[in-house]
Structure 1
Amino acid sequence: MISMSVELKASVRDRVGKGAARELRREGLVPAVIYGEKKPPLAISVSYKDAFRKIHEGGFLSTVIDIEVDGKKHRVIPKDYHLEPVRDFLVHVDFLRVGKNTSLTVDLPVLFINEEKSPGIKKGGVLNVVRHTVEVTVPADNIPENLVVDLAGTDVGDSLHISAVTLPEGVVPTITDRDFTIATIAAPSALRSAEGEEAEEGAEEAEE
């Protein structure tokens, strides 16, 4: 599924600095800047409530946003945000302009489906997630919400590599030198214990 762009309204900031930022936050706003595409940086303020909510909904740094500033729309992607370390309130947001042919490097969350169709999990096997996200290069106007890993038919001892994932068009992993593992189906602890006991018994018998 392709991640849909969202919209935010913003206003141009005439003043910068700590004092101006504190004043904005008292008004329910947060300072931000739009930069990139070889254009001058644009200092703006956005709704604190809207920005904070989108951050905590997840996927903020891989979501294309249309920011309307005084009637003009700017297509951007959040590049970074800063939280006050003690009280966890939002201090500042950096937005990167997104052009028509822009490619971005983002971390996509991994979504596992069809656990109920995995013989290994039905036996009590455990899904051991090695990577919860995968870093990819992707067209800015075609960012998927996630990478889907199908567990149907997987058994205990199986490893799921990036080569087993059907990648959306234009999505390329940044790791290209190996077929890296995303998850494994591990044996249940009871089965591992039983196998360990059998191995020990076999060794003892061989010694006798």
Structure 2
Amino acid sequence: MSTTIELQATLRSEVGKGASRRLRHADKVPAVLYGADQEAVSLTLEHNKVLQAQEHEHFYAQVLNLVIDGQATDVIVKDMQRHPFKPKIMHLDFQRVVAGQELHTTVPVHFINEESAPAVKAGGVVAHHLTEIEVACLPKNLPEFIEVDVATVELGSTLHLSDVKFPEGVSSVELAKGEDHDVAVVTIDKKKGAADDEEEEAASEE
């Protein structure tokens, strides 16, 4: 388990596009905190600190310690707006986390055993359909990532959400909507043109 990320924030009273623009010019990040049946509050964070923190993958899939004017609050990142081409964070949305209360959030997918997978060694090409999965769980069970073993995928077949092994206490939000939401996660197909080559070889043998 990675070390808990801590961010310092201050309450702000000025809101609106003009106020947010002034904050960004001062290397600050405007943010909002909501959830847990409490009022939403507007916040300000140091841009450089946020930029450093978000370089860690678990920043997006971990309960963070947000210290607001000295008072600590458990939160998760619900949304982040970035500048279209500059390395600049424009806005952050945080959601309060309550122990014992189920939360929904997305966690990254880690694909393992790709190079050693029998289907890949047989000439297959891996196609990732998902890079993250929305999960439902208690805060204490929130995983930093979901591991998907590509070694179990046969050549020409697809692994779906229902095939993924979720950690104890963690479930797929999408799967809970019904069988029609059992989306593809990863596929291993033959290389393009491989089928044509095989047909040509078979024809020449005849």
Counterpart of 2:43 in structure 1 is 44
For residue 189 of structure 1, give the secondary structure of its aligned residue in structure 2: coil
Counterpart of 1:135 in structure 2 is 134
Please tell me whether the aligned partners of residues 4 and 64 of structure 1 are also in contact (alpha carbons under 8 angstroms): no
Q: How many residues align?
A: 201
RMSD of aligned residue pairs (Cα, Å):
2.8
Gaps of 5+ in 2: none
Gaps of 5+ in 1: none
State how 1:39-78 maps to structure 2 within 5 Å. Answer: 39-55=38-54, 57-58=56-57, 60-78=59-77
Change (3 A) 1:173 1:11: same
Please tell me whether the aligned partners of residues 129 and 184 of structure 1 are also in contact (alpha carbons under 8 angstroms): yes
Please tell me whether the aligned partners of residues 3 and 143 of structure 1 are also in contact (alpha carbons under 8 angstroms): no
1:186 to 166, 189, 200: 189
Change (3 A) 1:162 1:11: same
- Provide, for residues 6-32 of structure 1, a one-character-per-residue CA deviation record: whole Å limited to 9, x for no partner: 110111224333443333333322121
Change (3 A) 1:117 1:9: same
- Structure with max Cα Rg: 1
Please tell me whether the aligned partners of residues 37 and 97 of structure 1 are also in contact (alpha carbons under 8 angstroms): yes
For residue 115 of structure 1, give the secondary structure of its aligned residue in structure 2: coil
Structure 2 length-normalised TM: 0.81
Identity of aligned pairs, percent?
35
1: CA distance, partners of 2:187 / 2:111: 12
Residue 197 of structure 2 aligns with an amino acid whose one-letter code is A
Counterpart of 1:107 in structure 2 is 106
1: CA distance, partners of 2:2 / 2:104: 15
Counterpart of 2:150 in structure 1 is 151
1: CA distance, partners of 2:38 / 2:116: 51
Deviation (angstroms), 1:144: 1.3
Counterpart of 1:28 in structure 2 is 27
Change (3 A) 1:143 1:16: same
For residue 102 of structure 1, give the secondary structure of its aligned residue in structure 2: coil
Deviation (angstroms), 1:163: 3.4
Deviation (angstroms), 1:78: 1.6
Confirm whether residue 196 of structure 1 aligns to residue 199 of structure 2. Answer: yes
Counterpart of 1:119 in structure 2 is 118
Residue 75 of structure 1 aligns with an amino acid whose one-letter code is D
Change (3 A) 1:84 1:165: closer
Deviation (angstroms), 1:146: 1.6
Please tell me whether the aligned partners of residues 78 and 105 of structure 2 are also in contact (alpha carbons under 8 angstroms): no
